[in-house]
Structure 1
Amino acid sequence: MDLASLNAFIAIAETGSFSLAGERLFLTQPAISKRIAGLEQQLKVRLFDRLGRVVSLTEAGRALLPRAYQILGVLDDTRRALTNLNGEISGRLTLATSHHIGLHRLPPLLRAFTRAYPQVALDIQFLDSEVAYEEVLHGRAELAVITLAPQTREPVRAVAVWDDPLDFVAAPEHPLAANGPITLKDVAKHPAVFPGGNTFTHHIVRRLFEAQGLTPNIGMSTNYLETIKMMVSIGLAWSVLPRTMLDEQVARLPLEGIQLRRQLGYILHSERTLSNAARAFMTLLDAQADLAPAAAKQLP
């Protein structure tokens, strides 16, 4: 079975488009179509239904997809295992991370890593934490440094590195910031700007409101915390931000008895062989976690 054709098959299955798959693999659409035609001829089944511009997997395609991931995963695993034998820390390290962590947590570690291991080519992908999780799960990234889910299931393993307290914030002139101690019920009456509904942070905050039988008034959403901070600072809404982002542009709301936090850390696929480069980067992350022992624990 041709591995290039399997890569094309996976790209189409994930993007739902021959043209988008071609862009991902730097191939023309006719070249992508030729690879799929060859694969279908070899397997003697149709893998995609093409109805106008809509491309969907057939039953045979759905059966092949997990096996295609497995085949390519085993090949990558074997390649890494053989490369590791020489003990060198070199090659390419594909690292996924969220925009916030990539901007505010990783720069010192990346600087130290590139100085210590100049032979490693870093491929850093800035993705939402939830998307980065899928990249690790399907073997497209060796490591992801992200906001950790409350629970992580095998074959993905999570290791906490940073404890990240979250604070309710508003513009300094916002009514919520000027009335002294307030309750969650008071906050729920005002418009909010939240991270997208698919994010781990959104679920953490929403569960807090639901526990008190409340529904936040979410008027806007974006996955970029810097954009949320800007919207809050000009008085459009309140929100929840990492404490590390607070400055004079926003005011911490005086909500008594409420403490929100999330864990930031890294995830890996427990059934895959890691490259020497990935292991070296994990050592740096673990050393960072050792600076805050309470956060340095493996999550369930």
Structure 2
Amino acid sequence: MDTANFDAFLAVAATGSFSRAAEQLHLTQPAVSKRIATLEQQLNVRLFDRIGKHVDLTEAGRALKPRAELIINALNDTRRALGNLSATIQGRLRLATSHHIGLHRLPPILRRFTKAYPGVVLDIQFLDSEVAYEKVLHGEIELAVITLAPEVEAPIVATHIWDDPLEFVVAPEHPLADAQRVQLRQLAAYPAVFPGTTTFTHRVVNQLFERHQISPQISMSTNYMETIKMLVSIGLAWSVLPRTMVDSQVRVLQIPRTRLVRALGCIHHSGRTLSNAGQALIALLQDEAGYPALHMKD
């Protein structure tokens, strides 16, 4: 049985669309349809219900999906393990990162990596940290450099690379902008824009207010820090931003006895064999964080 058919099946299942699956796999839509049809013939079941443009997994398709993932992940893991027998660092490295880290933290590290290992092809996906976490958990990508969850559980392995201090910010014309000190309860009386409720950053900020038994007035939320900065800068609300994003467009508030920091780092799956390229990138990240030098196995 051709594993390419499983790849097509999983792509259609993930995207809910033959055309989007074709784009993801760099194939034509008829080629994807042919692979699905071949797989259905081999298994003698119907895997998808097609109603107009809507595509849903059948009961057989839902039963096949976790098994197909196991097959593909086991095959990829075997390839990596065999490839690692050579000390050569090459091949494709599937990496995910958040937009913020990809813009503000990773460029110098990736520059060093590509210069040191020209034989590696980086396949980078820009995703919300929470989506990247799930993709690592399900074996869809090898590594993710993201905002770390407040609690990381097995089988995910997390390596803390950066502390990312968060600042409370308002527009320069906000009523609190010129105050020397602002109390948290005082700030909560004004409209706020928060990171999306599903984000790790939201959890970090929300836990602070819960500890003080304060309910902020959240008027809007978004997953994108650049959007939050824009909304704050035009005076619509206050929020928190990474210190690296603070400039003249916003004003930092001084709030006594309040320190917000989120952890940024790298995650991988403990049950998945890391490629030589993946190990090399983790080593560079650890060097950035000041970890003791690690040596790859021969």
Normalised to the residue count of structure 1, the TM-score between the two structures is 0.91
CA distance in 2, matches of 1:58, 1:211: 46
CA distance in 2, matches of 1:165, 1:2: 49
CA distance in 1, matches of 2:55, 2:277: 38
Name 1:247's counterpart in structure 2: 247
Amino acid at match of 1:228: I
Residue 218 (structure 1) shift: 2.4
Name 1:106's counterpart in structure 2: 106
Matched, 1:33 2:33: yes
User: Can you list the C-alpha shifts for 1:195-236, whole angstroms capped at 9, x where unaligned?
Assistant: 222211112212322333433222333322122222222222
User: Can you list the C-alpha shifts for 1:68-99, whole angstroms capped at 9, x where unaligned?
Assistant: 11111111111111212121111121211111
Amino acid at match of 2:89: I
Checking the alignment, whether the CA contact within 8 Å between 1:101 and 1:146 is kept in structure 2 is yes
Q: Which moved more, 1:162-171 or 1:209-218?
A: 209-218
Name 2:195's counterpart in structure 1: 195
Matched, 1:135 2:173: no
Where 2:177 maps in the other structure, the secondary structure is helix
Gaps of 5+ in 2: 293-298
Residue 27 (structure 1) shift: 2.6
Amino acid at match of 1:195: P
CA distance in 2, matches of 1:8, 1:113: 31
1:1-300 to 2 correspondence within 5 Å? 1-290=1-290
Amino acid at match of 2:222: T
The runs of 4+ residues in structure 1 deviating greater than 6 Å are none
User: Can you list the C-alpha shifts for 1:251-284, whole angstroms capped at 9, x where unaligned?
Assistant: 1112212111110000011111111111111111
Gaps of 5+ in 1: 293-300
Amino acid at match of 2:234: I
Checking the alignment, whether the CA contact within 8 Å between 1:18 and 1:33 is kept in structure 2 is yes
CA distance in 2, matches of 1:139, 1:205: 29
Amino acid at match of 2:69: Y
Amino acid at match of 2:5: S
Residue 110 (structure 1) shift: 1.2
Q: Which moved more, 1:274-283 or 1:219-228?
A: 219-228
CA distance in 1, matches of 2:92, 2:22: 23
Checking the alignment, whether the CA contact within 8 Å between 1:166 and 1:260 is kept in structure 2 is yes
Checking the alignment, whether the CA contact within 8 Å between 1:173 and 1:235 is kept in structure 2 is yes
User: Can you list the C-alpha shifts for 1:16-52, whole angstroms capped at 9, x where unaligned?
Assistant: 1222212212233332222222212211222222333
Q: Judging changes above 3 Å, is the alpha-carbon distance between structure 1 residues 153 and 60 closer, same or farther for their aligned structure 2 residues?
A: farther
CA distance in 2, matches of 1:19, 1:115: 36
Where 1:241 maps in the other structure, the secondary structure is strand
Amino acid at match of 1:44: N
CA RMSD of aligned residues (A): 1.9
CA distance in 2, matches of 1:224, 1:262: 15
Aligned length: 292
Amino acid at match of 1:246: V
User: Can you list the C-alpha shifts for 1:90-138, whole angstroms capped at 9, x where unaligned?
Assistant: 1121211111111111122112112211222222221111111122223
Amino acid at match of 1:146: I
Where 2:163 maps in the other structure, the secondary structure is strand
User: Can you list the C-alpha shifts for 1:152-203, whole angstroms capped at 9, x where unaligned?
Assistant: 2222211111111111111122112223422222222222222222211112
Residue 291 (structure 1) shift: 6.5
Checking the alignment, whether the CA contact within 8 Å between 1:177 and 1:254 is kept in structure 2 is no
Q: Which moved more, 1:58-67 or 1:160-169?
A: 58-67
Name 2:295's counterpart in structure 1: none
CA distance in 2, matches of 1:29, 1:281: 35
CA distance in 1, matches of 2:135, 2:221: 24
